[in-house]
Amino acid sequence: MQSPEHKVQHLDQLRVALIAQKQFLKSLEDRVSLINESLQKTDGDAEALIELDQMLSSIEDRASLLSSEDLSDWSATDIQNIYEAESQNVSSATRHLEFSSWTQFCTDSMAYCEESRLDVTLPYDALLSEADLQDIKEDVYQAQFRWDKWDYIFVGFAGVVAATIDCLVVGIPQDITSGRYEGQNGSDLTSWLKKFKLPENLQKWLELNSKAPFDQTGGSNHRIDTPGHDPIFGFIFGVLDICRGTSTTWKGGSAGSEANQRFPGEALTVALIKQLLHLMSDAFTTKGLPVPFASVFRLLNAGQFTRSNGKTATISDIALWMYHHGYDLRHFLTMSTVPASIEVILRAYIMIRQYVEGEDHKFLLAGNPKYRSMLLSAHAIACATNAGKIYLYAGNPLAINYAEWLACLRYFMPSIKYWLFDKRRLRLEHFEKIADREWDRVLQSSEGLLRASIQRHHKNVALGMQ
């Protein structure tokens, strides 16, 4: 058992600790009592409120741990000096908050919370109004579609590269030696592609084993007049003609179909194989295959365009004239280098940027409104340049970059749908996601970042430890 002298000594030490605790609590009460008397107004900065709450909680948690031994090596002057030093550090780190001292800022914040009946223990998002939250959500939504300077640079760069290729590489299919456009030179790339021929034995084998009813219409125009020779529509109308033993023609603004007794009809699988072999047999001949959907233009017997001989021509007539002057599938491949350059440049830029920025979500380019608008803008630049190219070629329709206009249309139609129908729906869906679990996760992450920043830049002071 302890002697009475030891008990008295222990009680004296306990009394000292209790007096120290009382002094700390009284100091806190005195500071709070000054709120309604001396403070004017505050900015109510959310980050400072969280730090204030952490400081108060730390003091309250450690107050019960104080003992006489903890305070034996400390004087009031030492504690005041540490407090002033830490206050100076905090003041220099938070100078952008525009207050004279950390003590003043804390008391100003407490006064504001008292006057506004705000609970300082709430997370800072509770201090935001519904209008503030809506503005934040709107800004987050718009940020994912907002272009920065690099987006503009690469869109412009892709458009300029495509325009350069269109003017220097694509040109027109072949040299013009007479008429209104005499002296215009054809594309070297198209001329090189037209030199490719299939081996003679393979060419004969394809012609022998891929006979089709739509190939029996006769005349030099039969390939552009029959949708069966279309590189795209051929796998629809050409296959149907082979299956039914018919020949479908589109020309001069009218469409027709007639049976061919020499072709009784084939099964669907056989028809698909014959259609593919037939297109291969025609692709490397002198006339070649027409460009995709060229047969559709043969149905458009509209428009009045003046030709060099003074006569007028319709869209159907111009399409036929262009095919006779080398505007075929091989020149379509040459024209495709223009949209291909845009796709390669922008898709590579977007993929590299996503990798550098650490975005690990699935790469969805065509379905993203921002990326689609970037591609549309670059293709629009190329199309505008192509319009200027047609003007420089004295209005020669052979200068039209059909592949580039198709590519521009491919992005323009989904963009119209987005602007008219999907824009509002996608915004609402985005807000609904933020309003639930995702919005809570954003708040938790931001609070975690704030706590980590405080722990990193501000030292903790423990009384009684050196």
Q: What is the mean pLDDT of residues 171-186?
A: 90
DSSP 393: T
Q: Would you tell me how many other CB atoms lie within 10 Å of the CB of residue 212?
A: 26
| Predicted model pTM | 0.63
pLDDT of residue 254: 85
Task: Specify the range with the lowest mean pLDDT, choosing from 183-197, 209-223, 253-267, 443-457.
Answer: 443-457
Within 13 Å, how many C-alpha atoms sit on residue 118's CB side?
Answer: 22
Choice between 293 and 11, residue whose per-residue pLDDT is larger: 293
∠ CA(80), CA(85), CA(86), 5° rounding? 100
Give tens-digit pLDDT for 327-378.
999 999 999 999 999 999 999 998 888 888 765 555 566 567 788 888 999 9
- What Å distances lie between residue 262 and 259, 267, 454, CA to CA? 9, 16, 88
Rounded CA-CA distance 466/461 in Å is 9
Q: What is the mean pLDDT of residues 109-115?
A: 74
pLDDT of residue 428: 59
Choice between 458 and 207, residue whose per-residue pLDDT is larger: 207
Choice between 114 and 43, residue whose per-residue pLDDT is larger: 114
Q: What is the DSSP secondary-structure string of 220-281?
A: TTHHHH-GGGSTTGGGTHHHHHHHHTEEEEEETTEEEEEE-TT-----HHHHHHHHHHHHHH
Helix (H) / strand (E) containing 438 = none
Provide the token pair at 361: 């979500």
Judged against a pLDDT cut of 90, whether residue 16 lies above it is answered with: no
Choice between 205 and 120, residue whose per-residue pLDDT is larger: 205
Secondary structure of 115-174 in the HEC alphabet? HHCCCCCCCHHHHCCHHHHHHHHHHHHHHCCCCCHHHHHHHHHHHHHHHHHHHHHHCECC
At 429, the pLDDT band (50, 70, 90 cuts) reads low
DSSP 217: S
Give tens-digit pLDDT for 46-100.
566 667 667 767 766 666 666 666 666 666 677 677 777 776 766 665 555 555 6
Q: What is the DSSP secondary-structure string of 313-340?
A: E-HHHHHHHHHHTT-BHHHHHHHTHHHH
Contact 245, 213 (CB under 8 A): yes
Rounded CA-CA distance 342/69 in Å is 76
Judged against a pLDDT cut of 50, whether residue 36 lies above it is answered with: no
Contact 448, 50 (CB under 8 A): no
3-state class (DSSP) for residue 177: coil
**Structure-token match 């503030």, residue found:** 132
Contact 372, 411 (CB under 8 A): yes
Q: What is the mean pLDDT of residues 178-201?
A: 91
Choice between 444 and 407, residue whose per-residue pLDDT is larger: 407
pLDDT of residue 463: 46
Q: List the end-to-end C-alpha distance of the chain, in Å, as a whole number.
A: 34
Give tens-digit pLDDT for 276-328.
999 999 999 988 999 999 989 999 888 777 766 667 889 999 999 999 999 99
Contact 231, 292 (CB under 8 A): yes
Choice between 446 and 59, residue whose per-residue pLDDT is larger: 59
Choice between 280 and 459, residue whose per-residue pLDDT is larger: 280
**Rounded percentage of the chain residues whose pLDDT exceeds 70:** 60
Mean pLDDT score across all residues of the chain? 77
Residues 6+ apart with CB under 8 A from 28: 56, 59
Helix (H) / strand (E) containing 374 = helix 369-392
Residues 6+ apart with CB under 8 A from 98: 43
